[in-house]
């Protein structure tokens, strides 16, 4: 006789039979709106709760509105929550009166009504409180932010899930906005100092990099970085997550373990950007936690994510997506600029010594029996004695009972208590002033970084919309070539970009290639397409292998660097050379202000950050703005360094020079030299980067020379003669000879660095 064991019932059918599942979803809607209402944006704005209440499906609007209202009530004071509560009430009433059918026809009507209602209430309450034009501008700016965020959340909740798994650009943008909103809601949660938002952003970026490639990784990382920058003020988390995501997507190593390792290695940027070592290593722990979760979850759990991100869109769809991204970048930059302008118009928080005296009187003398005698009858003597104590109150020693002057010391019953109260209030006043200064600096840095990220997002949109002309005839030839080799391709595409450069992509069943085989394949494909291709790049994906063929650049760059420290040990000049960026060559030279270790820290930090950002695809201006923010938040001490960056297009020889405080550069063409670059201000000194940019065209044999100010000790004419003398040398020999010659004619000790970049025919 066989005995059958009784199987435990599954949880989902049991919940369905008990009719608890709808209650769970209603509670989830209320909890989502509650968390969204308590998630700040730009430090003090709370638009997400209202956006979620306006975007939720009709059956969840009551619970979502209740959750949002409860979040505003518990998170804000009564005057601050009044405008949000009025807007939420207007949204819920309009949604209930309109019904489900009207909501499908006019999904934006409740959101527009809520935005207008909030703007009017906020402006009215602000004007009543004496805010004037500032309150009106602040209400209008947040109303625009509500409309922008709420639109994409409405698209996200209105479309069924099967639509989100296709390549519709609007739905995809809605997915990224929902991702951003989720991270913003998680950002305020800090259990035991750990940020789940950073770990979640790392997990999602890794999933996009592993399943959908560098494009999805770039958009996901940028989205997560923007969300973290606008909500928790952790400026070091945004660049770290963006750089780590781009590295994981571009390198595309084999397997999830190597992808996670690459992500964590690139995420070390967060340690250099962090305001202190504790914050940097805490961020590394959070990113590693997200990477660990990515490596441990079953692969099947990542398939829906891949379906929601990857896919081939038409050119029209790509153009639409690029337009959305461009509009999003412009809107975010405009909102950040508006918020900064409003904050600048707010009256400064000024507290004077008289306010300190009033607080001491309220807290120390309130219960004293001589309160009226001291502060009414003898008020003139009391205030005169307090004014005499002001230098001691502001000093480091503080006030003691023996320091209280006469006649206050004679008729005061508790001079020791009075002195202690003065010291406590002085410390509290200094703390408040320091917090206000730090918050002002952080807000300015946040808006500056937010603008840089918006510019980077706009550049990404430009890359998405880049026109391509497919070549189906060459694609068929390429497909036949691989079939003849016994490698039936899964997909073949050959196209020319807007500049006429041909590139090809071949997807095969998973197979391994060594370097010799890749070189042989490259020669065959070059002959078939009648183009010179660089060696194929092999990318291993789960279940497939991708071969990328790109045209070989016309030029190759060779670098030579010589750096001589002033004291013979540590140089404040730092350089970064990027030779393996496809089709481009980057070089960075930073000169920390002064000499020694302190200046060397600033120079190395700026050079490494600028090099990593340029290699990740950021423009020179955006990279400089991010480095400027990192230097401003590095420590309380002033940190300044020059930034000299050059980017060379190896296909055309076009070079772009970017200088912030750096000395001019020199171009050697034959036996002649020319000077390029204008004077500007080093980064790290001002809130904004004041730079100069110039463009020039290099030919084969031309040599571009970047120098620090110490190399110009002999003057410009002397440098020109040295460069002409060594114009035929290799880049390294030229750098060594010029640097040592500058050392010999230098009257005072200074760091000397010479970097030479020569172009050759590839």
**pLDDT of 70:** 85
CA distance 39 to 181: 9
Q: 687 forms bridges with which residues in the sheet?
A: none
Least confident of 212-226, 273-287, 394-408, 451-465: 451-465
Give the residue, 407 or 438, on which the prediction is more confident: 407
CA distance 717 to 414: 76
Determine whether 761 is exposed, middle or buried from the number of CB atoms within 10 Å of its CB (0-12, 13-18, 19+): exposed
Spatial CB neighbours of 284, under 8 Å, sequence gap ≥ 6:
264, 267, 268, 270, 271
165 band by pLDDT with thresholds 50, 70 and 90: very low
Phi/psi at 503 (5° precision): -140, 150
Enumerate the H helices of 106-132 as residue ranges: 109-128
Token representation of residue 676: 């390029």
CA distance 577 to 592: 18
**pLDDT of 107:** 62
Token representation of residue 754: 């010479």
**pLDDT of 634:** 64
Long-range contacts of 634-638 (CB under 8 A, 24+ apart): 634/275, 634/602, 634/605, 635/275, 635/276, 638/684, 638/685
CA distance 82 to 145: 18
**Contact criterion met (CB below 8 Å) for 562 and 754:** yes
587 band by pLDDT with thresholds 50, 70 and 90: very high
Least confident of 273-287, 473-487, 549-563, 710-724: 273-287
Tokens 């120098």 correspond to what residue? 707
CA distance 421 to 400: 10
Token representation of residue 10: 């599954």
Least confident of 177-181, 511-515, 651-655: 177-181
In the predicted structure, residue 465 carries a pLDDT above the cut 70: no
Domain ranges of the chain: 23-158, 175-312, 349-464, 468-550, 555-761
In the predicted structure, residue 16 carries a pLDDT above the cut 70: no
What mean pLDDT comes out for the span 549-576? 86
Q: Cα dist. 752→288, 590, 673, 758 in Å?
A: 39, 11, 20, 20
**pLDDT of 679:** 75
**Contact criterion met (CB below 8 Å) for 41 and 47:** yes
CA distance 459 to 467: 15
Q: What angle do CA 577, 579, 582 make, to 5 degrees?
A: 135
**Contact criterion met (CB below 8 Å) for 738 and 711:** yes
Least confident of 20-34, 339-353, 366-380, 744-758: 339-353
Residue among 333, 350, 338, 349 at smallest CA distance from 136 = 338
**Contact criterion met (CB below 8 Å) for 235 and 196:** no
In the predicted structure, residue 457 carries a pLDDT above the cut 70: no
- Region of 565 (left: φ > 0; alpha: ψ -120 to 50; beta: rest) is beta
Tokens 């970047």 correspond to what residue? 706
Phi/psi at 494 (5° precision): -130, 130
pLDDT tens figures, 68-126: 888 888 877 777 778 888 888 888 887 777 665 555 556 677 778 777 887 888 777 77
CA distance 518 to 514: 6
Q: Cα dist. 612→146, 497, 586, 729 in Å?
A: 35, 26, 10, 30
179 band by pLDDT with thresholds 50, 70 and 90: confident
What mean pLDDT comes out for the span 414-435? 76
**pLDDT of 366:** 75
CA distance 588 to 572: 14
Spatial CB neighbours of 726, under 8 Å, sequence gap ≥ 6:
733, 734, 737, 738
Helix (H, G, I), strand (E, B) or coil at 746: coil
Angle between helices 237-251 and 415-464 (to 10 degrees): 30
**Contact criterion met (CB below 8 Å) for 342 and 134:** yes
In the predicted structure, residue 509 carries a pLDDT above the cut 90: no
Rg, C-alpha atoms of the chain: 32
Tokens 């909501």 correspond to what residue? 103
Length of the chain: 762
Token representation of residue 371: 């309160």
**Longest distance between any two alpha carbons in the chain, whole Å:** 108
**Contact criterion met (CB below 8 Å) for 147 and 190:** no
**pLDDT of 647:** 92
CA distance 305 to 301: 8
**pLDDT of 307:** 44
pLDDT tens figures, 665-704: 999 998 889 999 887 788 877 777 888 888 999 999 999 9
313 band by pLDDT with thresholds 50, 70 and 90: very low
pLDDT tens figures, 355-409: 777 777 777 777 787 777 777 777 787 778 878 777 777 777 777 777 778 887 7
pLDDT tens figures, 55-82: 887 778 888 888 888 888 887 777 777 8
Asked whether the CA dihedral 706, 710, 714, 715 is positive or negative, the reply is positive
In the predicted structure, residue 560 carries a pLDDT above the cut 90: yes
Q: 503 forms bridges with which residues in the sheet?
A: 495, 550
140-144, 391-395, 514-518: which has the highest mean pLDDT?
Answer: 514-518
CA distance 608 to 726: 30
Helix (H, G, I), strand (E, B) or coil at 635: coil
Helix (H, G, I), strand (E, B) or coil at 155: helix
CA distance 603 to 166: 47
**Contact criterion met (CB below 8 Å) for 342 and 136:** no
Token representation of residue 707: 């120098």
Instruction: Please give the CATH number for the structural domain made up of 555-761.
Output: 3.60.40.10
Q: Cα dist. 466→390, 494, 590, 616, 647 in Å?
A: 66, 15, 33, 19, 20
Determine whether 532 is exposed, middle or buried from the number of CB atoms within 10 Å of its CB (0-12, 13-18, 19+): middle
Q: What is the DSSP letter of 533?
A: B
Q: Concatenated DSSP letters for 33-59?
A: HHHHHT--BTTTB--HHHHHHHHS-GG
Q: Concatenated DSSP letters for 18-35?
A: TT-HHHHHHHHHHHHHHH
> pTM (2 decimals)?
0.48
CA distance 212 to 541: 9
Give the residue, 164 or 239, on which the prediction is more confident: 239
Spatial CB neighbours of 686, under 8 Å, sequence gap ≥ 6:
628
**Average pLDDT value over all residues in the chain:** 75
């Amino acid at each position: 006789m066989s005995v059958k064991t009784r199987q435990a019932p599954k949880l989902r059918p049991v919940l369905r039979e008990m009719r608890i599942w709808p209650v769970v979803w209603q509670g989830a809607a209320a909890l989502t709106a509650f968390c969204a209402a308590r998630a700040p944006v730009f430090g003090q704005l709370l638009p997400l709760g209202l956006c979620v209440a306006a975007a939720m499906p009709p059956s969840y609007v009551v619970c979502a509105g209740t959750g949002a209202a409860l979040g505003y009530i518990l998170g804000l004071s009564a005057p601050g929550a009044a405008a949000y509560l009025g807007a939420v009430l207007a949204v819920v009433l309009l949604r209930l009166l309109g019904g489900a059918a009207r909501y499908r026809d006019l999904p934006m009507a409740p959101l527009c009504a809520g935005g207008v209602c909030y703007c009017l209430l906020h402006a009215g309450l602000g004007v009543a409180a004496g805010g004037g034009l500032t309150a009106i501008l602040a209400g209008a700016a947040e109303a625009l932010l509500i409309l922008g965020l709420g639109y994409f959340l409405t698209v996200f909740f209105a479309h069924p899930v099967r639509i989100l798994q296709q390549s519709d650009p609007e739905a995809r943008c809605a997915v990224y906005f929902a991702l951003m909103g989720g991270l913003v809601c998680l950002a305020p949660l800090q259990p035991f100092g750990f940020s789940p938002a950073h770990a979640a952003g790392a997990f999602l970026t890794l999933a996009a990099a592993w399943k959908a490639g560098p494009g999805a990784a770039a958009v996901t990382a940028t989205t997560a970085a923007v969300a973290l920058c606008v909500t928790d003020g952790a400026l070091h988390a945004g660049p770290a997550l963006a750089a780590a995501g781009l590295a994981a997507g571009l390198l595309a190593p084999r397997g999830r373990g190597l992808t996670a390792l690459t992500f964590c290695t690139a995420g070390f940027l967060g340690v250099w950007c962090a305001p202190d070592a504790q914050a940097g290593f805490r961020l590394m722990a959070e990113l590693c936690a997200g990477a660990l979760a990515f490596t441990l979850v079953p692969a099947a759990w990542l398939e829906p994510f891949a379906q929601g991100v990857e896919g081939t869109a038409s050119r029209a769809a790509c153009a639409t997506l690029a337009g959305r991204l461009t509009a999003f970048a412009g809107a975010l930059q405009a909102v950040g600029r508006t918020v900064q302008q409003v904050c600048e118009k707010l009256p400064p928080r000024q507290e004077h010594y008289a306010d300190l005296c009033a607080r001491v009187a309220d807290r120390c003398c309130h219960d004293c029996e001589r309160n009226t005698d001291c502060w009414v009858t003898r008020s003139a003597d009391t205030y005169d004695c307090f004014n005499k104590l002001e230098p001691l109150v502001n000093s480091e020693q503080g006030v003691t009972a023996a320091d209280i002057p006469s006649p206050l010391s004679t008729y005061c019953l508790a001079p020791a208590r009075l002195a202690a109260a003065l010291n406590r209030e002085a410390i509290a006043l200094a703390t408040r002033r320091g917090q206000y200064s730090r918050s002002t600096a952080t807000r300015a840095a946040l808006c500056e970084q937010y603008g840089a990220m918006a510019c980077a997002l706009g550049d990404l949109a430009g890359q998405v919309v880049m026109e391509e002309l497919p070549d189906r005839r060459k694609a068929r030839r390429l497909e036949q070539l691989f079939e003849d080799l016994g490698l039936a391709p899964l997909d073949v595409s050959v196209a020319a970009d807007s500049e006429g450069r041909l590139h090809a992509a071949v997807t095969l069943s998973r197979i391994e290639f060594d370097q010799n085989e890749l070189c042989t394949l490259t020669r065959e494909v070059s002959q078939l397409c009648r183009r010179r291709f660089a060696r194929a790049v092999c990318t291993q994906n789960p279940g497939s292998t991708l071969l990328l063929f790109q045209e070989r650049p016309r030029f190759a760059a060779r670098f030579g660097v010589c750096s001589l420290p002033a004291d013979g040990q540590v140089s404040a000049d730092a350089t970064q050379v990027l030779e393996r960026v496809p089709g481009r060559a980057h070089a960075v030279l930073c000169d920390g202000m002064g000499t020694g270790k302190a200046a060397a820290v600033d120079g190395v930090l700026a050079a490494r950050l600028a090099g990593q950002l340029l290699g990740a695809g950021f423009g020179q201006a955006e990279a400089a703005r991010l480095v400027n923010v990192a230097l401003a938040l590095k420590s309380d001490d002033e940190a300044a360094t020059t930034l000299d960056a050059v980017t060379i297009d190896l296909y055309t020889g076009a070079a772009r020079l970017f200088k912030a405080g750096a000395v001019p550069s020199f171009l050697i063409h034959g036996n002649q030299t020319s000077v390029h670059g204008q004077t500007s201000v080093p980064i790290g000194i001002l809130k904004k980067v004041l730079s100069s940019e110039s463009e020039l065209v290099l030919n084969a044999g031309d040599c571009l020379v970047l120098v620090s100010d110490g190399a110009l000790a002999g003057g410009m004419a002397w440098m020109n003669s040295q460069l002409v003398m060594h114009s035929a040398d290799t880049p390294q020999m030229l750098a060594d000879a010029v640097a040592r010659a500058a050392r010999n004619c230098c009257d005072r000790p200074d760091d000397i660095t010479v970097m030479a970049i020569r172009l050759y025919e590839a």
